[in-house]
Structure 1
Amino acid sequence: MGNFTIRAIAAPLALAAIAATATPVAAQDANSEARLKKVEAEIRALQRKVFPGADGKFFEPQITQAQPTTTNTAAPTTTAVTDILARLDALESQIAGLTAQTEVNTNAINVINQRLDTLSGVAPAATTTTSSEAVGSNLSAMTGGASAPKPAAQPAQPAAKPSGPTAERLAAVQAIAKPQTGDAGDDEYSYGFRLWDAKFYPEAEQQLSLFVEKYPKHSRISYGRNLLGRAYLDDGKPKEAAAWFLKNYQSDKQGARAPDSLLYLAEAMIAMKDTKRACIALAEFSDTYPAVATGRLSGQYQANLKKVKCN
């Protein structure tokens, strides 16, 4: 077979090979071009949200295709690959700018929210602990829906500053010394007792609330909850007092002041004119603490029985 015949056969085969390889490359370039255009469109939409104009309109997107540089000397034509790389560089630059602007906007919004909270005097609401559990079948709903508030930070003061204690009262309260025995918990309780004993009931309520919150496992905790209830009762707040008396009894029926709390619970119910629940509390007291009812607290128990008519 002559050289002319071989060349005649080889030429069509070479053309077919070139066409076969060119088709996947062209398809790949078309696919990359479509994906790149989609990314560019998404960046434009994001630009319009992050960079609004001062007049309410939006800036035009700043993504442009990189143009090949022309010189006097002949230069190779920009290929599809170099064009894509140039456009990807532009996209990356725009994404970095959008990310930075988003962070700036977020920080600015946080600062504004903090200032608004400060101006409006926003403070977290105090948490309360309900006393919905019954003390046996006899003390169901003893407090009439009252809840024993969990001591917490005092709520923010209203905008209109209320009248505070007089200078004389402040001086009298400051004159009551806080013990310094080395037992911090006992000192807090004893200070609350001194305030209550001096009839500074609101101050005693605050101090004893601090004690029961900070030292829930202290040996004086039964004393502290009971005295907190008494401070409320003496302050003319029988509903709040009943919640603390019930809580003290429920928390530890063998506590040092659990019998006292149950008896004072009856007194709180009497103050609320709830004879039924007062009688239930007195019956529970005599059944649970018969020795105390005829001993240490017999006088108080009998006095309470005379205040109500129980079946």
Structure 2
Amino acid sequence: MEKDDFTEDNLASNKYKRNLESSANIKELENLCTKNPSNQGDIENFLSKFNPNVYAAYSTIKKDCVSKINNPKCCRDVNYYLDLVNSFINSANIIKNEKELLVEIIEGYWKDYIDNFSNYTCKREQGVYSVEKRCILKQICDLYDDKTYFELNSSQYNKFVAKKWEKILNYSNHENKELYFKINFKIINKSGKYKELLLDPKEIIDVDCKNIDITHISISTEEPDKSSNPLNGDLQTLGGHDSDQHYQEDSEGAVDTETSYTPWMSIFTSLSGSISGILIFSFLYKFSPLVSLIQSYKINKKRIGKNMNKEETTELLESEEINKYYISYNSMSY
């Protein structure tokens, strides 16, 4: 493949772009939202057509993803366009309440439809930093799909990705705060700057995009600690297929690392507790007054047991003699 062969239409990551973009008519929405002032009614009319049109296109491409063992690419791509639409709405020169009503037109519609298929799994999470997590997920998977083009045309490719993400970044609601991402994927623990990963990727992240999802990704306004193996702007090669750990987020998006806890640690903890208990009991048994108390208890128990046995035996013999007496008496009465 020659360097001059780079075109956006040839990118594997853009396989479904034409279907979705033609139905979405994103350029018209951008024009409506950049007007000064913007008109809520015009945008609302646009969205009333946008939703069913994009849904029809999504249903078409979804069939292809289902045929490829539920490839999650269709889900990532349609979520990208929905996030892009919300970004344009947030950029519109209208009051906050009107923006929220327009966003609800999008989210309310797709909440009922995006994962309403028994043969294809697609989610649109609404948690803290869910948009940023979806962007990270799509970026690392698109980079992997486009690795041949990226390796031959990295400068041209970076211009393409900058154009793809700049509008979502510009119209986000995080007041231009520096955000950091962290990926926990099986034994992998990588981190870096959110914007740098989207706008200026350095290397392909070698990851299985059929298994990774946004639960393996966290976003924070605080730079991850040094133990997280920061990328410092350069993406290092990743690998793996699953993850048992990820980060918890509070209502303000702060991220805390969960302690890594393996099955071996669980076994070691249980054995340590058992051994400690045995040693403590042995020490007390040998050196404390508890020994004499236990021995006295055993001796008394034996004495009581012998006395009880003697009494029971005596009572049993007496009972037998009485029975004989009554039996003899009864036989004589006849």
Shared topology, TM-score over 0.5? no
Q: TM-score range by the shorter chain?
A: under 0.3
Structure with greater Cα Rg: 1
Q: How does the TM-score come out when normalised to structure 2? A: 0.20
Q: Which structure shows the bigger proportion of residues in strand conformation?
A: 2
Q: How does the TM-score come out when normalised to structure 1? A: 0.21
